[in-house]
């Protein structure tokens, strides 16, 4: 009984509650048919997860989610901001934040690499603006790398998010199979 109470206390901390809110935004994003709406929801998700990881002391995840939130804003604005220099700037920011998380905040180096690979791969797939590519990359590349971080930091919302992300992508593939995905 003491173990259950201890687990519930951990599961209901402010950090974990923020993780659950971020999870809701993330899961809803994969049900958006239009990429503009998807990127907007991903921005909200990035902000919530930035705060969540800050409270957990997961510095690489915090910094790279902050970059992802900015990325979501640029990608949601459409063709006007679909420029190569923006994409390269986002990738550079991801790399710099990964290095800073290890050098300044003392993040575990292999966790920083996992998060960099996840966010960099996600950025590349989102840059294509191809719904199928975005979702397949999420399921086969981004979520598995994030799961490593989320188990390491025991973020219940993060673990559930990536597990549900994989399931949500599968559902969206079934839902949009006949009509395809928005390519805007």
Nearest to 156 by CA among 51, 19, 57, 1: 19
How far apart, in whole angstroms, are the C-alpha atoms of residue 50 and residue 112? Answer: 15
* Global confidence as pTM: 0.85
pLDDT, one tens digit per residue, over 141-181 is: 999 999 999 999 999 999 999 998 899 888 888 887 755 55
pLDDT band at 128 (very low <50, low <70, confident <90, very high): confident
CB pairs under 8 A, 24+ apart, for 74-83? 75/35, 75/39, 75/42, 75/126, 75/127, 75/129, 76/36, 76/39, 76/40, 76/43, 78/36, 78/184, 82/127, 82/129
- CA distances (Å), 162 to each of 56, 87, 116, 176, 183, in order? 17, 24, 16, 21, 24
Half-sphere exposure of 184 (CA within 13 A, CB side): 8
pLDDT, one tens digit per residue, over 77-96 is: 877 777 888 889 999 999 99
Q: Please report the pLDDT score of residue 179 as a whole number.
A: 55
């Amino acid at each position: 009984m003491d173990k259950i109470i201890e687990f519930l206390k951990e599961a209901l901390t402010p950090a974990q509650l923020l993780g659950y809110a971020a999870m809701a935004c993330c899961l809803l994003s994969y049900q958006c048919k239009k990429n503009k709406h998807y990127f907007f929801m991903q921005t909200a998700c990035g902000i919530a997860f930035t705060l969540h990881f800050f409270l957990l002391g997961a510095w690489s995840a915090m910094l790279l989610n902050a970059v992802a939130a900015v990325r979501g804003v640029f990608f949601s604005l459409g063709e006007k901001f679909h420029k190569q220099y923006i994409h390269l700037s986002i990738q550079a920011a991801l790399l710099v934040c990964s290095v800073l998380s290890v050098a300044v905040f003392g993040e575990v180096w292999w966790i920083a690499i996992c998060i960099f690979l996840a966010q960099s791969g996600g950025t590349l797939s989102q840059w294509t603006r191809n719904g199928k590519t975005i979702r397949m990359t999420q399921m086969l590349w981004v979520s598995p790398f994030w799961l490593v971080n989320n188990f390491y930091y025991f973020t219940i919302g993060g673990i559930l998010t990536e597990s549900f992300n994989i399931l949500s992508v599968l559902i969206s593939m079934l839902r949009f199979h006949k009509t395809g995905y928005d390519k805007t």
